């Protein structure tokens, strides 16, 4: 009767926490829980067996190699059933208690590998029966002092790390298992608990093996149980489990529990502890249930807040996934038109600089074109140097030895050609950089717009790639052409005319030159025919410099204009028109095929939302 009343009060709280754990909230908010820690052979498995009423894996060495969440549910209508689950998917239901050992060992082998390694992944074992108490606790590997054969040397440290991870949380109740027949202060488990919970506010100790203490030592044990040696707020409980002999003789756990009661009843010193509710497994179970519920209540507001927060996130994710394509064919077509039109609109806006995706494309391009301009300017000083050098060299060689009709023009033309040709590489690099930038932004838009439609995304991505390739080939050809034209060394620019020699400018052929002001070539052909070589040569550096000025101006505009036009404007147009071509196809179904993962994801989110809502309702009704 008492058990039933308790179950009423306990179950909803424990269920709530289990629910929250299954949703994954424990990853962000440590949930109230009981973690069992003990040195090896302290009797940890034996206690858990008494509580759960089933045989658990046991033996020497490290038997518990993964944290095991033991969920005990009392249900009067159920004889016995259990579910073991771990990892993303594994879940197995069974109804034979004798299978527990094998299944837990199997789970450990899967998670921690065969052998002696440990692992942090949780195995969940839910046992429902008419006799078990309502409780949830996590069994952790026993603290090993020394590594045995085949174990990593740092196994002790690994286990301690794992235990610390669980017991450092303020929400965790630390259940320390210590044998009565040792000096409890020296046990590693109690030391760790004291480290993580120095005030002893959330530590409860279980004293085991009371039947093994030396005669005369009972008084000391009583002192401990009465909380007079190492003070723990939650106190001590003493239990007696099956000894090795009884296990070997296959004594049932039920029988062992009966025997435990007899043991305390008949014990000269410990008899009184029964009345004080400080002895037997049964008493321990009740204490733990109450403590757990108290702990859960304490953290209820925080859990409630976290659930609401989570629910908000899940709903937001769901809303982003909603609005899939309609099923009716005509509607589906309309929907496809809409999807493509939206995308095209954004591509067009992007090409006009009206929207900003990732980063401002126009700003990025401007920066890149400035780099190009800088490159032209930097080349200028080199150009000036080379020009001066060539002029000086020429002077040196030919001073006073000019021959009539000597052609010096070719020398300078060659210099100009060579230096201008060097600008082709940076021009091509600018093209490549901008192409990458534009393609990335187009691609981003396609990813955003078609994220639920892998086919559309693949098609548009491919199209963008091909179009960009074509367009950049066009620009490349144009740049090559431009540089080939530059090899002509030609201008009819005003700047250059200012540098023409005075006498010539006012000379007899003034009329011809104003008619064809840019006939740079012709001018020098004429010049050399006249043989007034020296006069012109002194003017060369200035002339060549201003010619370069003209080249720079031409290229500074021409290259960016080509790139902008073909790589951005034109290709945006082509992308849009090719996307519209998709509408001529009559397989809207295929085009709008949703990612199967999206469907799954949506279902998963929906289930999560449902569970969270349920948890939320539960909290408000508690
Ligand atoms: P664990 O390593 O902490 O899991 O310890 P076990 O539960 O495997 O127990 C170690 C040994 O102590 C086993 O042989 C148990 O039978 C024995 N043992 C555990 N509890 C008691 C007890 O209350 N009395 C006696 N006599 N032996 C016990
Ligand atoms: Mg054990």
The string of DSSP codes covering 388-422 is HHHHHHHHHHHTT-PPTT---HHHHHHHHHHHHHT
pLDDT digits (tens, 9 = 90+) for 355-409: 777 788 999 999 999 999 998 888 888 888 887 777 777 767 766 555 433 346 6
Beta carbons of 606 and 318 less than 8 angstroms apart:
yes
For residue 46, the ligand 1 atom closest to its alpha carbon is 7
Number of continuous H segments (helices) and E segments (strands) in the chain: 24, 9
Q: Which residues sit opposite 135 in a β-bridge?
A: 72
Q: Is the CB of 43 under 6 A from ligand 1?
A: yes
Q: Is the CB of 463 under 6 A from ligand 1?
A: no
Nearest residue by C-alpha to atom 26 in ligand 1? 243
Q: Is the CB of 38 under 6 A from ligand 1?
A: yes
According to CATH, what is the number of the domain 32-299? 3.40.50.300
105 Cα to the center of ligand 2, angstroms:
12
DSSP assignment letter at 277: T
Query: Which band of pLDDT confidence, cut at 50, 70 and 90, is reported for residue 179?
Result: very high
- Range scoring the smallest mean pLDDT among 57-71, 320-334, 419-433, 577-591: 320-334
Beta carbons of 246 and 50 less than 8 angstroms apart:
no
140 Cα to the center of ligand 2, angstroms:
9
Query: Which band of pLDDT confidence, cut at 50, 70 and 90, is reported for residue 127?
Result: very high
pLDDT exceeds cutoff 80 at 124: yes
Beta carbons of 373 and 556 less than 8 angstroms apart:
yes
Is 319 exposed, middle or buried (CB count within 10 Å of its CB: 0-12, 13-18, 19+)? exposed
What is the distance between the alpha carbons of residues 372 and 384, in angstroms, rounded to a whole number? 19
Task: Check residues 277 and 597 and name the one with the higher pLDDT.
Answer: 277
Joined tokens for residue 11: 């179950």
pLDDT exceeds cutoff 80 at 181: yes
What is the distance between the alpha carbons of residues 426 and 77, in angstroms, rounded to a whole number? 82
pLDDT of residue 404: 39
**Best probe residue, ligand 1, of 36, 37, 46 (max atoms within 8 Å of C-beta):** 46
Q: Is the CB of 58 under 6 A from ligand 1?
A: yes
From residue 226, give the alpha-carbon distance in Å to each of 33, 252, 354. Answer: 25, 31, 78
Q: Is the CB of 61 under 6 A from ligand 1?
A: no
pLDDT exceeds cutoff 60 at 508: no
pLDDT of residue 515: 37
pLDDT digits (tens, 9 = 90+) for 95-123: 999 999 999 999 999 998 887 788 899 99
Class of domain 329-591: mainly alpha
Is 153 exposed, middle or buried (CB count within 10 Å of its CB: 0-12, 13-18, 19+)? exposed
Nearest residue by C-alpha to atom 25 in ligand 1? 243
Q: Is the CB of 42 under 6 A from ligand 1?
A: yes
Chain center to CA of 486: 52
- Which three-class secondary structure string do you get for 347-358? HHHHHHCCCCEC
What is the distance between the alpha carbons of residues 570 and 593, in angstroms, rounded to a whole number? 30
Site of tokens 């067009």? 348
DSSP assignment letter at 27: G
Q: For residue 46, which ligand has an atom nearest its CA?
A: 1
For residue 208, the ligand 1 atom closest to its alpha carbon is 23
pLDDT exceeds cutoff 70 at 147: no
Give φ, ψ of 611 to 5 degrees.
-65, -40
Query: Which band of pLDDT confidence, cut at 50, 70 and 90, is reported for residue 525?
Result: very low
3-state secondary structure of 205: strand
Give φ, ψ of 468 to 5 degrees.
-60, -40
What is the distance between the alpha carbons of residues 431 and 554, in angstroms, rounded to a whole number? 16
Beta carbons of 28 and 313 less than 8 angstroms apart:
no
pLDDT of residue 171: 93
pLDDT of residue 518: 39
72 Cα to the center of ligand 2, angstroms:
18
Beta carbons of 558 and 552 less than 8 angstroms apart:
no
537 Cα to the center of ligand 2, angstroms:
101
456 Cα to the center of ligand 2, angstroms:
57
Q: Is the CB of 242 under 6 A from ligand 1?
A: yes
The mean pLDDT value for 321-349 works out to 86
What is the distance between the alpha carbons of residues 31 and 17, in angstroms, rounded to a whole number? 7
pLDDT of residue 400: 57
Mean pLDDT taken over the chain: 84
pLDDT of residue 526: 43
pLDDT exceeds cutoff 90 at 195: yes
Query: Which band of pLDDT confidence, cut at 50, 70 and 90, is reported for residue 532?
Result: very low
pLDDT digits (tens, 9 = 90+) for 271-305: 999 999 999 999 999 999 999 999 999 999 988 99
Task: Check residues 523 and 560 and name the one with the higher pLDDT.
Answer: 560
Beta carbons of 550 and 493 less than 8 angstroms apart:
yes
pLDDT of residue 512: 37
pLDDT exceeds cutoff 80 at 203: yes
The neighbour count for residue 406, using CB atoms within 10 Å, is 12
| β-bridge pairing 203-208 and 33-38 | unpaired
Q: Is the CB of 179 under 6 A from ligand 1?
A: no
Joined tokens for residue 412: 């300078």
Joined tokens for residue 527: 């010049």
Chain center to CA of 120: 20
pLDDT of residue 506: 40
């Amino acid at each position: 009767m008492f058990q039933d009343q308790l179950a009423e009060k306990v179950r909803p709280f424990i269920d709530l926490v289990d629910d929250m754990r299954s949703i994954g909230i424990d990853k962000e908010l440590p949930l109230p829980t009981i973690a069992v820690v003990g040195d090896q052979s302290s009797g940890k498995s034996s206690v858990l067996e008494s509580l759960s009423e089933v045989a658990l894996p046991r033996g020497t060495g490290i038997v518990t190699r993964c944290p095991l969440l033991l969920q005990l549910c009392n249900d009067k209508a159920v004889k016995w059933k259990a579910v073991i689950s771990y990892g993303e998917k594994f879940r197995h239901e069974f109804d034979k208690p004798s299978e527990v050992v094998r299944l837990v060992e199997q789970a450990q082998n899967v998670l921690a590998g065969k052998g002696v390694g440990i692992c942090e992944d949780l195995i969940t074992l839910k046992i429902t029966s008419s006799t078990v108490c309502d409780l949830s606790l996590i069994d952790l590997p026993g603290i090993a002092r020394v590594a045995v054969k085949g174990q990593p040397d740092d196994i002790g440290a690994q286990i301690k790390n794992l235990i610390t991870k669980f017991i450092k949380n303020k929400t965790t109740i630390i259940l320390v298992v210590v044998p009565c027949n040792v000096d409890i202060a020296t046990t590693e488990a109690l030391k760790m608990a004291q480290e993580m919970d120095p005030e002893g506010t959330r530590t409860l100790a279980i004293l085991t093996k009371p039947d093994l203490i030396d005669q005369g030592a009972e008084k000391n044990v009583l002192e401990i149980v009465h909380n007079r040696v190492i003070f723990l707020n939650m106190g001590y409980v003493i239990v007696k489990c099956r000894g090795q002999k009884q296990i070997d003789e296959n004594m049932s756990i039920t029988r062992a529990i009966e025997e435990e009661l007899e043991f305390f009843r008949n014990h000269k010193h410990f008899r009184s502890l029964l009345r004080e509710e400080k002895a037997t497994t049964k008493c321990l179970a009740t204490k733990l249930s109450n403590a757990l519920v108290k702990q859960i209540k304490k953290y209820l507001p925080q859990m409630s807040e976290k659930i609401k927060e989570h629910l908000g996130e899940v709903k937001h994710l769901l809303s982003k996934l909603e609005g899939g394509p309609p099923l009716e064919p005509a509607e589906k077509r309309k929907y496809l038109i809409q999807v493509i039109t939206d995308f095209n609109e954004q591509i067009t806006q992007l090409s006009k600089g009206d929207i900003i995706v990732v980063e401002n494309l126009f700003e990025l391009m401007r920066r890149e074109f400035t780099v190009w301009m800088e490159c032209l300017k930097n080349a200028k000083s080199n150009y000036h140097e080379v020009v001066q050098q060539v002029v000086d060299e020429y002077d040196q060689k030919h001073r006073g030895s000019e021959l009539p009709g000597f052609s010096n023009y070719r020398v300078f033309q060659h210099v100009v050609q060579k230096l201008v040709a060097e600008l082709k590489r940076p021009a091509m690099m600018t093209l490549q950089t901008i192409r990458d930038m534009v393609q990335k932004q187009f691609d981003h838009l396609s990813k955003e717009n078609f994220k639920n439609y892998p086919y559309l995304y693949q098609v548009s991505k491919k199209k963008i790639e091909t179009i960009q390739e074509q367009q950049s080939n066009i620009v490349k050809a144009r740049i090559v052409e431009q540089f080939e034209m530059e090899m002509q060394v030609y201008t009819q620019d005003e700047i250059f005319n200012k540098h023409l020699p005075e006498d010539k400018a006012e000379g007899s052929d003034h009329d011809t030159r104003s008619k064809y002001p840019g006939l740079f070539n012709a001018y020098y052909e004429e010049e050399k025919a006249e043989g007034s070589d020296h006069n012109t040569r002194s003017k060369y550096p200035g002339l060549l410099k201003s010619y370069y000025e003209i080249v720079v101006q031409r290229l500074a505009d021409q290259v960016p204009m080509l790139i902008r036009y073909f790589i951005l404007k034109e290709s945006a147009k082509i992308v849009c028109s090719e996307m519209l071509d998709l509408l001529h196809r009559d397989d809207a179904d295929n085009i709008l095929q949703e990612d199967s993962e999206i469907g799954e994801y949506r279902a998963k989110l929906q289930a999560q939302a449902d569970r969270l809502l349920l948890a939320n309702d539960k909290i408000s009704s508690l």
